[in-house]
Each structure stands twice: as C-alpha cells, then as structure tokens.
Structure 1
Amino acid sequence: MKRSLLLSTLLIPAFLTVLTAAEPSLEELTGSGVDFLRNSQADDGSWTAPNRPGVSGLITTSLLASGLTPDDPTVTKALDHLESFVQKDGGIYDPEGNHRNYETCIILMAFEKANKDGRYDTQIKNAEKFLRNLQWDEGEGLETSDTSYGGAGYGSHQRPDMSNTQFFVDALKAAGASEDDPAIQKALIFMSRAQNLESEYNQTTFAGKINDGGFFYTPAAGGETKAGETDNGGLRSYGSMTYAGLKSMIYAGLDKDDVRVDAALGWIKKHYTLDSNPGMGEQGLFYYYHTFAKTLDVMGK
C-alpha cells in the first residue's frame, strides 16, 4: 500500500513532464493515479500516518498539478489537514517529528499551488521566514569557507545536506525568490561543494578525488555519500543528488556555459537511465524519479 501510494504521488508529475507526447496514455495514467489517491485518503484528509504531513503535502501538490482545484473535496480536505500543522514560529511541521525543513518546504509548495486567490499568503510568507532562519550562515557564526555554509538540514542546527537544501531552494523559488536572492546564492555555495568537481568553487579535500561532475549527499562535517566511498576516500556521485544539484544551480542563475552545469550534464549523459537511481540501484528510486522530472521541467525538456 505505502509503495503504491508513493509511486502514485511521485509519478503523476513525472508523467506530466516526461510523457507529454503520449496524450491518451498520459490521461489514463494520471486519472488512475488521481482515483487511487482519492480512494486512499483518510477521513482527516491525510495519507499514511496522520503525523507525517510531508507525504500528504506531496500528494496534495500532485493532485493540484494533475488539474484538480483547491475547491475539489479531496484537495480541500487535504489542505485543511495541512493547515493544522502551521506553528507559531511560521514553520509547518509535526512538532514531535524531526523533519521541520522538509515538511515546511513541501507544505509551502502545496499552499503556493493552491494560492490562486491569496488565501495562503500569510502562511507562505511566515513559512518562508522560518525557512530562511534554518539556513546555515552568518547567523550560526559561520564563515563562507565552512563546508556547512549555505546548506539546510532537517531542522535548526542539524547538519545540512543536499536533499534538505534542494527542497529549501524549491520552496524559496515557489515563494517568489529570485535567482540572485542571498539565500539561494548561499545555497549555491553549499551545493558547489557537494559536487565532485575541483574548481574555484570547490576546493574541499575530496573535490578532485573522483572529479566526475556528479553530486553526493553532503560536504559538511567531513562529507558523506549514500553511494559509498572510493579507495582514496572519494565520495561517489549518484543520480538523485546530481539532478537535485543541477536543478538548484539553474534556479541560482547558472547556465550551460558554467563549468559546474557542464560537468553535471556530462555526468547525467553518461549515467542516464530510468531503470534505477544511478549509483544507488533501487534505493531512493521514486525520489529519483521525482527529482528527475522536476529538473527536466526546469530545463524546459
């Protein structure tokens, strides 16, 4: 059930982005996904556990992207459920959980998608302020040379990583931030250091050990990858983080002539597949599809 739910949630926008040439099949696939999600919604408007609003936020955004309106009964119920997680500090999260950045980012994007009449202006504005305060920067006493600088983690004072940071950038863009917004430019500094590319933008100790242009999980606190290390201590690149890095760099205003974008595209061309999450097999496969589709959308592909 959970696997099917996640598949429907992540692949609806993917089909909308990737399969636009197959209109009849697209309509059938989208309709089946929407029907499944309607029928699996709980009475309180949630999907899966009531205290996991991130999943419900993703599903709500997917339904809206599939053509449903905020006034559709399923969507209205979902939005009401998400609104119950708005906190006094502006964040939108389960206070007993450990995913304050993820949940706030995801729900902010759901509210933005539903905000055709300004009904969520206040929630979006407050959530954006909350997220900006989570970013690792001068407010935490960091200098730009620190490998944590510019990143976002699960919550306040938790180690930043690429996954949290890509959602952070996505949410700021949804809230209206421009490519030269200071927070997005700070995130670019962090993400450049999570790329296996030795350059003027990345002079960490592991920058040139692999040098293939892909991205890994985090450069902070000594660095970490979910795809394993090489014998010389290199942090292996993998698909989902490489698409996350490329998408975020485009949001930050970089184009194909930038060495970082060029290197990321080179890695993607070499490892392009929809059969697995490159470097990770089936681990994080639906996450990979989700990020893959969003990146292609940003690139206009």
Structure 2
Amino acid sequence: MQFDRLLSFGTKRVSTRVAGVLLAVGLVVLAIGQDGPAKANAPQSPGQTNAAIDEAVSLGISFLKNRGQSADGSFSPESGVAVTGLCVRAILENRPTEVDSPAVKKALQVILDNVQPDGGIYVKGSRHRNYETSVAVGALVAANRDDRFDSQLKRAEAFLKEIQWDEGEGLTPADPAYGGAGYGSHSRPDLSNTSFMIDALRDLGNDANDEAIKKALIFVSRSQNLAGHGNDLPHAASEGDGGFYYTPAAGGETKVVGGDTRDGGGGLRSYGSITYAGFKSLIHAGLTESDPRVIAAMNFIQDHYSLTENPGMGQAGLYYYYHTFAKALGAAKLRVLTDADGNNHVWNRELVVTLTDAQQDDGSWVNRSSDRWMEGNRNLVTAYSLLALSYCRE
C-alpha cells in the first residue's frame, strides 16, 4: 500500500498539502534543507540514518541484556510476560542473529513457561490476557526459526479470536463493543488492545479477509471521530477531526489530559498515540488511501505532527506514541509528512534524532516527565524506543 500516492486523496485541502509531500519524497535531502523545522542534526542520507540507528540500538540492547534482564530471563515480571515479549521483539527486529543468544533464549523460555491450557500466553491470574498474549505472539513470531513455535502460535491465535468481543459474548454488530479486544475477556474493549490484537493476527499471517480482522474494523471505525463511515454513534459528527479516541464501548472514553474530554457537542476528543494505533489498524484491515477513514486520519496526523509531545496527552505515553507513530507510518510506507504550517518533515530521520538525544548514558530510555502507563520503567521504554528505531531504517 503506497501512501506516497496521497495526491489521489479526495479533498482539496489534503491534495494541496500533499503535493509538497510528494515532491519531498523524491527530493528528501532537499526537503530537509529547505522546508523549515526539520531537526537540525537530522541524518542527511540513508547511510547516516542507519549508522545512527545502529549505534543507538547497540547501546539499547546492551542495556537490556546486561542491566534490564532478571536472573530468570524475564524483563519486568510485574507486567506478566508483556515487557519480556516487547523486549524480545525489540531485540530481534534490530538484531535477528540474537535469536539464539543466551539472553533471548532465557526470555523466550519465560514466555513458553506461561503458555496456558486455553492457548493464551499470560501469567496465571492475569487481568491482561489479550495484551500479554498479543505481545508474546509478536516475540515468538520474530523468533520462530524452523517453525519451532508453530504449535504455541496456532493455539494463541485461537485464544485471541475466542476472547474478541463478538457473538460469543452475546453481541451483535450494532453494539459499540462489537469486534474489539480489551485487556481480558471481562474487560470492556478499547482501541489500544484491539490494535495489539490486530498486530498479532497479522503477524500470524491473517489478512484483511480474516473474520476477526473484519470484526475488529467495525470497532476501529467506531473509535474514529468521523461520521458516516462506520461510526454510527450519536456524537460521531461532533468532533469530526478524523482522529481516534480510546473506546466507544460502555459509554465511550478518551484519555486526553487537560480540559474537557468531551467537546461541546458531546464528542470524545482525539489524541495522538491512539490515532496512530487506529490509522495502523485501518491499514492492516486492508483500507486503501482512497477510503474516507484513511483520508480523515491522515488529515489529523498531519495537522498534529509533533515529536515533542503526544498530542492531546502532553508527555504522558510519549514513548508508546513514538512506537505507534513509527510503526503506523512504516506500515503506510510514507516517509514525509506535511504539518499544519506547510512544513515537510522526513519523520524517520527526525525521530532518530529525537530518540538518540533522549537515550541515557547507560543505553536505556525512560520517560522522566511522566510515569503514566509504566513509562518510568526503563525496560518498557527501551523496548518501545528500539522498536521505533527499527521502523526508521532506510
């Protein structure tokens, strides 16, 4: 799916702005020099970009292996297997040859030791079964040399589809919770968990024709501030900015900080990280650049371009934002964005600078401004950062 063909988008505002993007795609170095507030230290070539990534990755992986990992092989076991799975995936996305290293093998064994009789991969008693299983699937897929984990992955796939909110929970497609995934089978669904589930199903080889992904698209569309294209809820048209909010289920919720979470018309306000999660989910569900949902999401993304904050959230969830930002734009195969002021941004090169500037002396990353959603945890934030960097390679 080539989003560098965004000029085909239907609205005049998008077409006008993206004309500059298309020029910048072809003249990426020229765009950095002429189009305003690109990072001053941004790499100027693929070789420089990848060299900067390699240096940061080496330091980050060294931190995880030498300081972040517990003696039993886990990373931050208070998260169940979630952070362990993210760390394994982060290492292997950047260094596939580490698959048989002692650190990765020990971490993988922790994951395997938590495969449950129902096929899920989570610690006993966990309330985050979808999240843990989805992340563990990503780690096992990345490490699945010679099909060694096929059995566990097949069972995990069946588990994720079983706990998706659908007819099995007595719902119809008219229910706002339909198609989504929550932390577990008894936790109301949200877009973050749904996007993790979609990622896992895609990692497992499911495409847009898979029934679970089709159902998930219904939930994702209801989470977007866009009326008439899947969001049939009462306040769908109120915000109307094309961004996404946390969940339409159980009366709806957004995580926006500061001010009212609902606009004057009752709509839930959009924010950055969840919009990238929604945008990525639209792509994985097979929508093309001509779909109004994709057009609207791209409008929000370009209007709220930022690498200094998680739009609508400030510093909260900043590294989760960087991760979803990079993964979504990487999935869209788009390297240049035009912001609300008409400035072109070669996002991957700017993100490389942002992350290398924020890396700590010990090779880790941590959110010093907000520990919401565990972002005071160096293992988690280092995994997010390494994953983000893996999508920045040229």
Structure 1 equivalent of residue 57 of structure 2: 30
Q: What is the identity percentage for the equivalent residue pairs of Structure 1 and Structure 2?
A: 51
Distance 1:283 1:50 in 2: 20
Read off the aligned partner of 1:38 and give its amino acid letter.
K
Displacement over 6 Å in runs of 4+: none
1:89 aligns with 2:121: no
After TM superposition, the score normalised by the length of structure 1 is 0.91
- 3-state SS, counterpart of residue 183 of structure 1: helix
Distance change >3 Å, CA 262–CA 20, structure 1 → 2: farther
Structure number with the bigger relative contact order (C-alpha 8 A, sep ≥ 6) is 2
Read off the aligned partner of 2:199 and give its amino acid letter.
D
Match of 1:60 among 85, 88, 91: 88
Deviation of 1:206 after TM superposition, in Å, equals 1.5
Read off the aligned partner of 2:211 and give its amino acid letter.
P
Distance 1:260 1:72 in 2: 43
Read off the aligned partner of 1:37 and give its amino acid letter.
L
Distance 2:306 2:208 in 1: 29
**Equivalenced residues, count:** 283
Read off the aligned partner of 1:125 and give its amino acid letter.
K
Structure 1 equivalent of residue 272 of structure 2: 239
Match of 1:264 among 297, 300, 324: 297
Distance 1:213 1:207 in 2: 10
Match of 1:114 among 106, 119, 143: 143
Structure 2 equivalent of residue 251 of structure 1: 284
In structure 2, runs of 5+ residues without a counterpart are 1-45, 335-394
Read off the aligned partner of 1:188 and give its amino acid letter.
L
Q: RMSD between aligned alpha carbons?
A: 1.3
Distance 1:248 1:146 in 2: 20
Distance 2:278 2:79 in 1: 29
Q: Check the 8 A contact 2:182/2:190 in 1, yes or no.
A: yes
Per-residue CA deviation, residues 7-47 of structure 1 (Å, 9 max, x unaligned), is xxxxxxxxxxxx87522221111111011111121110011
Distance 1:38 1:157 in 2: 35
1:44 aligns with 2:72: yes
Structure 1 equivalent of residue 162 of structure 2: 133
TM alignment of 1:1-301, pairs within 5 A: 21-40=48-67, 41-49=69-77, 52-67=80-95, 68-227=97-256, 228-301=261-334
Q: Check the 8 A contact 1:90/1:126 in 2, yes or no.
A: yes
Deviation of 1:138 after TM superposition, in Å, equals 1.2
Deviation of 1:100 after TM superposition, in Å, equals 0.3
Q: Check the 8 A contact 1:51/1:94 in 2, yes or no.
A: no
Read off the aligned partner of 1:278 and give its amino acid letter.
P
Deviation of 1:115 after TM superposition, in Å, equals 0.3
After TM superposition, the score normalised by the length of structure 2 is 0.70
